[in-house]
C-alpha cells in the first residue's frame, strides 16, 4: 500500500534536542564536529560525492586528498605501517578477527571489552577466553591474566590463540591498561595484539609501535570529530596482506572491506577535522588535569569515582549514593537528576540513572566543569532543604 501524504508528515527534517547544552556524555564529547567538518558535511553530503572521483579504489583518490590522508597522514598519526578507514571501530575489529583467525579458533579479550568485540568474535565464529580485572574500586585489567588465558587455550586446544585484544581505555571506567607489558606477554607466545582505541585515538597521543600493537582501532564518530559511522584501522606490515587481502575475482578490491572503504560525508568530515584533532592531542595532559580536578570536586560532594586513581582519562564512572537517596523520595523518582540537569542545560547522564553513572570531561573546559559541579551541589542542597 502506498504511503499517503498524511503518513509522510512525520518524516522530513527533524530538529535535534538538546541544542547548545554542556555535553558530558562519554559517547559524544570526542565526536563533536568542528566548524570545518560541519561545512564539509553540507558540501559532501550527497551520496555520490566522493565516488565521483573514484577510479576503482576509494582510498587511492588523489583529489580530494584521500590517498594522502589514508596512506600517509593517518599512518604517521598512529605510528603504524598501513591504515584503512572503515565503517566503525567494530567493523575494524571484525576485519582483523575474521582475517586472522579461522572458524573455531580462540581469541583473548579483556573482560571489560566493549560488547561489540564479543559480537565481532561471534560473527566470525570464534571462541573467546577473557582476562579478568581487579575488584572495586579500581577494576584494572590484570596484565598477567593474558599469560594465564593464553596458557589455558594452549592447554585446552594444543595451539595458541589466533589473536589477543586489549581495550584502551575501557568504556566502563576509563582505565588505561599497560599495553606494552600486555604486548610483551602476547608476543612471547607469538600471539598478535590488537588495541581497541575507540576512546583514545583522536583524543590523546597514541603510538602503536611504542605500545607494541600489531593492530590499532579507532572510532571517528566517538573520538575524531567526524560524522559517523566511521573508524580507522592500523595494521603492522607483517599482517597487512592478510587483513587487506584482495579478491581473486576483482583484484583491486579488498575482501574484508567488501571492496570499498568509507566514502562521502564521513571520510570528508574526518579529513576536515583532522588538523584540529592532531592539535588537540597535544593538549591531552590539560584534559587529564581537568578530569582529576572534576573527580576531586565531586568527591567533596560524596560522589565517588571508581577506576584508576589518580585518573588518566576523561571517561569516568561515579557512584553517587547521595543522588540515589534523593531519588527514593523525589517527585520524579529516579528521573529527577536527568530533569534537573536538563533545566540547567547539562546533557549526558542518562535518564533514570542516579546511583551509578558515566560521564566525560573531554573538551568541556574548566569553567563549564565548575558549573556542572556547582549544579550537582545545588541539586543536593535543594533536596536537603526540601
What's the whole-model pTM score?
A: 0.95
Which backbone phi and psi does 107 adopt, to 5 degrees? -130, 160
191-223 pLDDT per residue, tens: 999 999 999 999 999 999 999 999 999 999 999
| Domain 284-385 -> CATH class | alpha beta
Give the residue-averaged pLDDT of 117-145. Answer: 97
Domain boundaries, the chain: 35-280, 284-385
Residues in the chain: 386
Q: For residue 9, what pLDDT is reported?
A: 86
Look at residue 351 and tell me whether its pLDDT is greater than 90: yes
Which backbone phi and psi does 284 adopt, to 5 degrees? -60, -40
47-101 pLDDT per residue, tens: 889 999 999 999 999 999 999 999 999 999 999 999 999 999 999 999 999 999 9
Average pLDDT value over all residues in the chain: 96
Look at residue 385 and tell me whether its pLDDT is greater than 80: no
Q: For residue 5, what pLDDT is reported?
A: 87
Look at residue 1 and tell me whether its pLDDT is greater than 70: no
CA–CA distance, 345 with 364 (Å, rounded to integer): 13
H/E segment holding residue 127: strand 127-131
Q: For residue 15, what pLDDT is reported?
A: 87
Look at residue 386 and tell me whether its pLDDT is greater than 70: no
Dihedral over Cα of 337, 20, 14, 271: its sign = negative
Of the candidate CATH numbers 3.40.640.10, 3.40.50.720, 2.160.10.10, 3.30.413.10, the domain formed by 35-280 belongs to 3.40.640.10
* Alpha-carbon radius of gyration of the chain: 22
CA–CA distance, 324 with 354 (Å, rounded to integer): 5
* Of residues 181, 178, 183, 226, the one with CA closest to residue 201: 226
Given the C-alpha cell 527534517, which residue does it identify? 13
Dihedral over Cα of 30, 34, 38, 44: its sign = negative
CA–CA distance, 354 with 334 (Å, rounded to integer): 6
Q: For residue 17, what pLDDT is reported?
A: 80
3-state secondary structure 198-231: CCCECCECCCHHHHCCCEEEEEHHHHCCCCCCCE
10-20 pLDDT per residue, tens: 899 888 888 78
DSSP 314-340: SEEEEE-HHHHHHHTTSTTGGGHHHHH
Look at residue 245 and tell me whether its pLDDT is greater than 80: yes
Amino acid at each position: 500500500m502506498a504511503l499517503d501524504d498524511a503518513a509522510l508528515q512525520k518524516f522530513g527534517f527533524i530538529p535535534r534536542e538538546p541544542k547548545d547544552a554542556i555535553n558530558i556524555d562519554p559517547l559524544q564529547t570526542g565526536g563533536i564536529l568542528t566548524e570545518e567538518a560541519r561545512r564539509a558535511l553540507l558540501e559532501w553530503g550527497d551520496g555520490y560525492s566522493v565516488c565521483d572521483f573514484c577510479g576503482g579504489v576509494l582510498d587511492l583518490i588523489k583529489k580530494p586528498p584521500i590517498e594522502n590522508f589514508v596512506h600517509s597522514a593517518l599512518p604517521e598519526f598512529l605510528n603504524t605501517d598501513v591504515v584503512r578507514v572503515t565503517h566503525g571501530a567494530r567493523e575494524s575489529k571484525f576485519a582483523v578477527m575474521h582475517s586472522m583467525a579461522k572458524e573455531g579458533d580462540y581469541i583473548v579479550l579483556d573482560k571489560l571489552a566493549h560488547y561489540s568485540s564479543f559480537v565481532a568474535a561471534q560473527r566470525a565464529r570464534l571462541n573467546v577466553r577473557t582476562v579478568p580485572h581487579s575488584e572495586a574500586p579500581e577494576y584494572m585489567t590484570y596484565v598477567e591474566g593474558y599469560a594465564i588465558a593464553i596458557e589455558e587455550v594452549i592447554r585446552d586446544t594444543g595451539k595458541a590463540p589466533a589473536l589477543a585484544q586489549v581495550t584502551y581505555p575501557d568504556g566502563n571506567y576509563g582505565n588505561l591498561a599497560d599495553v606494552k607489558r600486555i604486548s610483551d606477554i602476547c608476543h612471547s607466545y607469538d600471539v598478535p595484539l590488537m588495541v581497541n582505541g575507540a576512546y583514545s585515538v583522536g583524543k590523546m597521543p597514541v603510538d602503536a609501535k611504542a605500545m607494541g600493537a600489531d593492530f590499532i582501532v579507532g572510532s571517528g564518530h566517538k573520538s575524531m570529530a567526524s560524522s559517523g559511522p566511521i573508524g580507522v584501522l592500523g595494521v603492522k606490515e607483517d599482517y597487512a596482506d592478510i587483513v587487506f587481502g584482495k579478491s581473486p575475482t576483482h583484484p583491486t578490491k579488498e575482501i574484508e572491506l567488501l571492496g570499498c572503504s568509507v566514502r562521502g560525508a564521513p571520510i570528508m568530515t574526518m579529513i576536515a577535522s583532522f588538523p584540529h584533532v592532531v592539535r588537540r592531542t597535544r593538549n591531552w595532559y590539560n584534559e587529564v588535569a581537568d578530569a582529576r580536578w572534576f573527580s576531586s570536586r565531586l568527591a567533596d560532594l560524596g560522589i565517588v569515582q571508581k577506576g584508576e586513581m589518580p585518573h588518566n582519562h576523561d571517561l569516568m564512572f561515579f557512584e553517587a549514593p547521595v543522588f540515589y537517596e534523593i531519588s527514593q523520595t523525589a517527585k520524579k523518582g529516579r528521573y529527577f537528576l536527568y530533569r534537573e540537569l536538563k533545566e540547567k542545560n547539562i546533557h549526558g547522564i542518562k535518564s533514570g540513572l542516579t546511583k551509578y553513572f558515566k560521564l566525560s570531561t573531554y573538551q568541556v573546559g574548566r569553567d563549564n566543569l565548575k558549573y556542572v559541579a556547582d549544579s550537582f551541589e545545588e541539586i543536593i542542597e535543594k533536596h536537603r532543604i526540601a
